[in-house]
Amino acid sequence: MERTAILTQLLEMGAAVALAPLFLGWVTQCRAWLQNRSAPPVWLPYRAIRKLFHKDAVLAQDASPLFRIAPYVVFGTMVVAAAIIPSMSTLPLNRAADAIALVGLFATARVFMSLAAMDVGTAFGTFGARREMMVGFLAEPALLMVIFVASLISQSTALPVISEALATQALGLYPSLAFTAVAFTLVLLAENARIPVDNPATHLELTMIHEAMLLEYSARHLALMEWAAALKLFNYACIGFALFLPWGLATGAAGPQALALAIPALLAKLAVAGLGIAVIETLSAKLRVFRVPEFLAAAFLFAVLGMLVHQLLGA
Amino acid sequence: MPVDLNAPLPACLALIGAWALIGAAGLLRPSSVRFAGRTLFPLGAIVGLGLAAVAAVGLARPAEQVVLAIGLPDLPFHLRRDALASVFLVMLGAAAAGISLFAAGYFRRGEGTPPGLLCFQYHLFLASMGLVLLADDAYAFMVAWESMALASYFLVVSQHRIPEIRRAGFLYFVVAHVGAISLLLCFGVLQGGSWLFTFDAMRAASLAPGAATLAFALALIGFGAKAGLVPLHVWLPEAHPAAPSPVSALMSGVMLKTAVYGTLRVTFDLLGEPHWSWGLVPLAVGLGSAFYGVVFAAVQTDMKRLLAYSSVENLGLAFAGVGLAIVFHGVGMRALAVLATIAAIYHCVNHAFMKSLLFLGTGAVLHATGERNLGRLGGLLRRMPWTAWIVLVGVLAIAGLPPLNGFVSEWLLLQAFLFSSEVPVNFIDMLLPLCAAVVALCAALAGYVMVKFYGVIFLGQPREAALARAHDCGWLERLGMLWLAAGCIALGLFPAQVVAVLGEVAGGLLGEVPPRPAAPWWLLVPLPDREASYGPLAFLLVAAAVIVVTAVVVRAVYHQRVRRSAAWDCGFARLDARMQDTAEGFGQPIRNIFQPFFRIQRELPDPFDAEPRYRVTVGDRIWGYAYVPLGALVRRLADLAAYVQRGRIATYLLYSFLTLLTLLALVLWNGPRS
């Protein structure tokens, strides 16, 4: 039992690390299709990461050790987050961090990334860090409120318990969850540097948020940062599945056949989610940075509305 | 003297006395830096460690009392040590140990008050904080409370030749005494007609609901003034920058917590059964202060002011926890009340370690550079690696990031808020969970503030040429900071053990010890029947393993080649330090988003200015709305009083004569009847 649990845990971490660039490639491909461009191959992120690993790292003269360890910390944090989120089954590490601690883990990654961006002291790096922290401090409470609504329904902040409670609910649809799903989508877009908050494909430094922080990185450090960003998107998608599409998870007691069902379920969900993100990104334009607080305030408001709806209707 | 481990109160008293003696010894050679720094402050640190150890032993022991016949003839000091006092004594001792070690290397000659005198005030301050925690009658409490305020006042104005510092000290003095008067009145109400001022009598007294509410309100004002709750927070951002850094650390890290201690003591111990609705006041004020504090911290440009506002935030969160505990307690949800109390006390202990560490860090920076202004710092990670890396621990902790300690108490507080929807009072059950949003917002903003604090001071390029000569701090200072950083890490990695101890304390205070949930030792499970758990050690180990494996794999499969070159910055070749974001720039999004909170004055340059100047000052609106009118009112009243006080002897003689006549008339009037 113990051995299978650890094996499942490792399998799921490995799956997340391996699948994350594919998911990113899928989103990019869908976006290209929707925008009537010829699509890059879905494997492109893997190739980019491989190419970066082969290159020699160039560091700025003044870069401190903090700058060099940050990619590893960010990557490690994202892998641990992937180990905690029940994407296919409930895992032994699920208990080590509940949804609130998960938000904390994401914050740790963000703070390290921002500090690293300020380390060299370039103009773009520091303003990237400032903007990232601005997006972060507005998105984090919104995400916490989303989790709170789900926790109020299931009486727990542990993600596996939440998914299980929501998957086996008596009620078909919770009205409060509809509001929070909107809020969560907005937070997902903002936290993962997608349009309308940030543009992952931009080459204009003045409008960058996430990319501005990575400008001084190269080679393996950049590869790790890019991979961590892909993992973050994957993790957010999985949190979304745990909260809003909780079906198809293999619970701890179920055997290998449940897991065999969980893998295609996850892939199907990812395919739909990727398409959804691409549709949103195609239909919206990038906001000015000054408008981002309003966007995130809307997310926060939706989450709070969800909570009020839950309190009023009890559902 | 034999030390009886079952009754550690005498040992605690002896150690507190030792602090006072060490302080007095400083007066022997007031101008010797060597004597104070190399002998007395390290001794004080050892006493602090001893106090923490002895009080930790006392955590599990029953409460004990002692009566000391000092003070006025008929008013002996009643002292009592129970679990609540012990927790705060452990905090005082442990934090003081680190701060004293730092102070041993910190104080120099020629910086205001001579070192021996500073040593006296400093140790008197420590001893009086210890007595505040042990006091068991109103008289002893007020004596200790006032000596604490006085000692810290003299420490704040140690550089009294600078007018701003004198002003800051005066403001602190005034607010401290408004609080003290309020506490005095509170004890007056609490004795409940028995005219006995021991805490035992107050526990026994049964107050009418109105009187109890009045006592609670007075206590909240009194302790709120000490804790720096809005709107009584104005002294904090003035006094903390004025004081020497170890003193700021002690005031912010430890002294502010005596207010939380006092509130818990008065509410749950002396008043006994608080009404649930009282809790809403500390909850609202606490959350308001937390938000206000963190928003103002984000726009500060002075590093110590920034930390002072951050203290307002953290104390606000602790008071929110206390308020929530009162609500839960009042409606009979005892297990949750215990959880909220644990969260509040845990936050106090955490804050004692992390804020002291940060203030000490600013002290090291101040000594190395002579600058408090964030706009003239930068790049110190390369000049002062020890300070920078140790301070990073404190920064991550206070930003509320797992697996460090700041996160644990915020996690507990959020868990407590989550179950507030079960409070059986209409409307309140809807309002309370929404308060969790404020806590979440404050926690996230704290991260913003701390990235600004650390990034502007330690990262980037040095903003002044003089910073190239900055040197790292000495070994005593490093040792003191390392001790506090170790505390932050330990409190973060072993939350289950800390919560078990605090659970006993809070349970004893609230009259219900919650059942210990069955969980593995590395996992914190705050409530037995809810599926919420947190095990920082587990995911830290996994994260460390992942990081090591990644690094090894990258090295084995690819290579480790590194080349150094100029910063790229998108191909811009002439990068200089002035192109970095400034402290003002980093605060700009907050200034924009929360504009109504600030009183902003801008001075913008004209396109044709020969010497363009840009200046922006961000002020506190409460100062203009409340304090300036209040000050004017006091002045007007004083002017009115001046009509009576003309300075002419003939007038004063007339007053005496009239008073005499009145008194005679009174005697005549009352005389025949008796």
Domain check: are B531 and B387 in the same one?
yes
Which residues of A are less than 8 Å from B433 in CB distance? 148, 152, 307, 311
Distance CA A19, CA A231 (A): 8
Helix (H, G, I), strand (E, B) or coil at A250: strand
If you measure CA to CA, which chain A residue comes closest to B552? A72
Which residues of A are less than 8 Å from B564 in CB distance? 58-61, 63
Which tens digits make up the pLDDT trace of B77-117? 889 998 899 999 999 999 999 999 999 888 776 667 788 88
Distance from the Cα of A36 to chain B's closest Cα (Å) equals: 31
Q: What is the DSSP string of A61-126?
A: TT--HHHHHHHHHHHHHHHHHHHHS-SSB--GGGGG--HHHHHHHHHHHHHHHHHHHHHS--HHHH
Domain check: are B382 and B509 in the same one?
yes
Q: Specify if B499 maps to a domain.
A: yes
Does B231 sit behind a cis peptide bond, omega within 30 degrees of 0 on the bond before it? yes
* DSSP label at residue A40: P
Q: Contact A61/B580, CB-based, under 8 Å? A: no
Q: Quote the mean pLDDT of chain A.
A: 87
* Of B291, B237, B230, residue with least CA distance to B443: B291
Q: For chain B, how many structural domains are there in total?
A: 2
Domain check: are B517 and B638 in the same one?
no
Q: Which percentage of chain B shows pLDDT scores above 70?
A: 97
Domain check: are B477 and B332 in the same one?
yes
Task: Choose one of B479, B505, B535: the last residue of a domain.
Answer: B535
The stretch A9-22 carries a mean pLDDT of: 88
Q: Contact A133/B451, CB-based, under 8 Å? A: yes
Please give the pLDDT value at position B585.
84
Residue among A59, A104, A148 minimizing CB distance to B418: A148
Distance CA A6, CA A18 (A): 18
Which tens digits make up the pLDDT trace of B554-596? 888 887 888 888 888 778 777 788 888 888 888 888 888 888 8
Residue B627 has pLDDT above 50, yes or no: yes
Q: For chain A, how many structural domains are there in total?
A: 1
Q: Contact B581/A124, CB-based, under 8 Å? A: no
Helix (H, G, I), strand (E, B) or coil at B519: coil
- Residue pairs spanning A and B at CB distance below 8 A: 250
The ipTM is 0.93
Domain check: are B625 and B522 in the same one?
no
Q: Where does the pLDDT of residue A1 fall: very low under 50, low under 70, confident under 90, or very high at 90 and above?
A: low
The amino acid sitting at B35 is F
If you measure CA to CA, which chain A residue comes closest to B527? A156
Q: Specify if B176 maps to a domain.
A: no
Q: Specify if B175 maps to a domain.
A: no
Q: Contact B447/A141, CB-based, under 8 Å? A: no
Q: Where does the pLDDT of residue A115 fall: very low under 50, low under 70, confident under 90, or very high at 90 and above?
A: very high
Q: Contact A110/B447, CB-based, under 8 Å? A: yes
Q: Cα–chain-centroid distance for residue A103?
A: 10
Structure tokens at A167: 């998957």
Domain that holds residue B459: 292-535
Which residues of A are less than 8 Å from B535 in CB distance? 95-97
Q: Is the pTM of this model over 0.90?
A: yes
Residue B1 has pLDDT above 50, yes or no: no
Q: Where does the pLDDT of residue B619 fall: very low under 50, low under 70, confident under 90, or very high at 90 and above?
A: confident
HEC per residue, B448-501: HHHHHHHHHHHCCCCCCHHHHHCCCCCHHHHHHHHHHHHHHHHHHHCHHHHHHH
Distance CA B343, CA B502 (A): 9
Which tens digits make up the pLDDT trace of A116-165? 999 988 888 888 899 999 999 889 999 999 998 888 888 888 888 888 88
Which tens digits make up the pLDDT trace of B308-353? 999 999 999 999 999 999 999 988 888 889 999 999 999 999 999 9
Q: Specify if B44 maps to a domain.
A: no
Q: Which of B135-144, B219-228, B584-593, B631-640 has the lowest mean pLDDT?
A: B584-593
Distance CA B20, CA A190 (A): 56
Which residues of B are less than 8 Å from A79 in CB distance? 543, 546
Structure tokens at A97: 């961090």
Which of A2, A51, A55, A62 should one mutate to test binding to chain B, selecting the residue with the greatest count of B CBs within 10 A?
A62
Residue B438 has pLDDT above 60, yes or no: yes
Distance CA B48, CA B125 (A): 13
Q: Are strands B562-565 and A57-60 parallel, antiparallel or unpaired?
A: parallel
Domain that holds residue A233: 3-313
Structure tokens at A287: 């906001």
Helix (H, G, I), strand (E, B) or coil at B234: coil
Which residues of A are less than 8 Å from B572 in CB distance? 123
Distance CA A37, CA A201 (A): 14
Which tens digits make up the pLDDT trace of A238-251? 999 888 888 777 76
Residue among B396, B437, B567 minimizing CB distance to A216: B567
Q: Where does the pLDDT of residue A255 fall: very low under 50, low under 70, confident under 90, or very high at 90 and above?
A: low
Domain check: are B526 and B627 in the same one?
no
Q: Contact A126/B455, CB-based, under 8 Å? A: yes
Which residues of A are less than 8 Å from B452 in CB distance? 133
Q: Specify if B78 maps to a domain.
A: no
Domain check: are B298 and B413 in the same one?
yes
Which of B434, B521, B542, B555 should one mutate to test binding to chain A, selecting the residue with the greatest count of A CBs within 10 A?
B542
Task: Choose one of B535, B566, B594: the last residue of a domain.
Answer: B535
Q: Return the higher-pLDDT residue of A20 and B429.
A: A20
Domain check: are B361 and B498 in the same one?
yes
The stretch B542-559 carries a mean pLDDT of: 88
Q: Specify if B45 maps to a domain.
A: no
